[in-house]
Chains A and B, each alone.
Chain A
Amino acid sequence: DTGVSQNPRHKITKRGQNVTFRCDPISEHNRLYWYRQTLGQGPEFLTYFQNEAQLEKSRLLSDRFSAERPKGSFSTLEIQRTEQGDSAMYLCASSLQSQPQHFGDGTRLSIL
């Protein structure tokens, strides 16, 4: 049983550019979550999918952020017109129904 896989591990980009991250959940996990973690803080919830339906979005998820899970398997998180404050670790987690969430290694985003 492979774990949650996230790509890339690290993304460096200039302010104003668009970035996209990918998350491959554990197979058969129907729930997929995105979190953001800044230095010295705990992860903060961004959004959640059950199968392909996006069921909940945090107010942290501004209009520049969009997430998809088109076939109920992998998910992408896109940030448009990146800003300095977007620098963080973006974590993906998956679970089977209401079972505990399992996290990936995260994608670290650095904005120059």
Chain B
Amino acid sequence: AQKVTQAQTEISVVEKEDVTLDCVYETRDTTYYLFWYKQPPSGELVFLIRRNSFDEQNEISGRYSWNFQKSTSSFNFTITASQVVDSAVYFCALSEEGGSQGNLIFGKGTKLSVKP
């Protein structure tokens, strides 16, 4: 069965702190994609990143970085020097593109509050 677990329901930090959002996934497929989406209070899901299962290289984009480890089935997301505008719900998602049509399986999300 495919499953995405985001164990942290809510996280609160003070501006400029670093914060890591955890994501653990389960899948039987060898070919799959992992995603992170941001959902600000306005409601629209904003795509942040996609990684395929064959690329374990970590990625950095500005203050955002992602750590993909197949050995622990984890795809964690770190925000460095957090800002108030980072406050949102963050979703990790899995797509088994190899076998299905690519519908996303989401975790329950982690609500991040960044206080000034």
> Which A positions have Cβ atoms within 8 angstroms of B?
31, 33, 35, 40-45, 48, 50, 55-56, 58, 89, 91, 93, 95, 98, 100-106
Contacts and interface: CB of A to CB of B under 8 A. Distances in A.
Most chain B CB inside 10 Å of its own CB: which residue of A41, A101, A106:
A101
A95 to B, nearest CB: 7
A100 B106 CA distance: 14
Interface stretch (B58-66, B68-76, B78-86, B93-101): B93-101
A104 B106 contact: no
Nearest to A104: B44
A102 B43 contact: no
Interface of B: 4, 35, 37, 42-47, 50, 91, 93, 97, 100-109
Contacts of B4: 42
What is the interface of chain A mostly: helix, strand, loop, or mixed?
Answer: strand
A43 B43 CA distance: 12
A44 B62 CA distance: 30
A93 B103 CA distance: 10
24 contacts: A33-B103, A33-B104, A42-B107, A42-B108, A43-B45, A44-B106, A45-B103, A48-B102, A50-B101, A56-B101, A89-B43, A91-B45, A95-B102, A98-B97, A98-B102, A100-B35, A100-B47, A101-B47, A101-B102, A103-B37, A103-B44, A105-B42, A105-B43, A106-B43
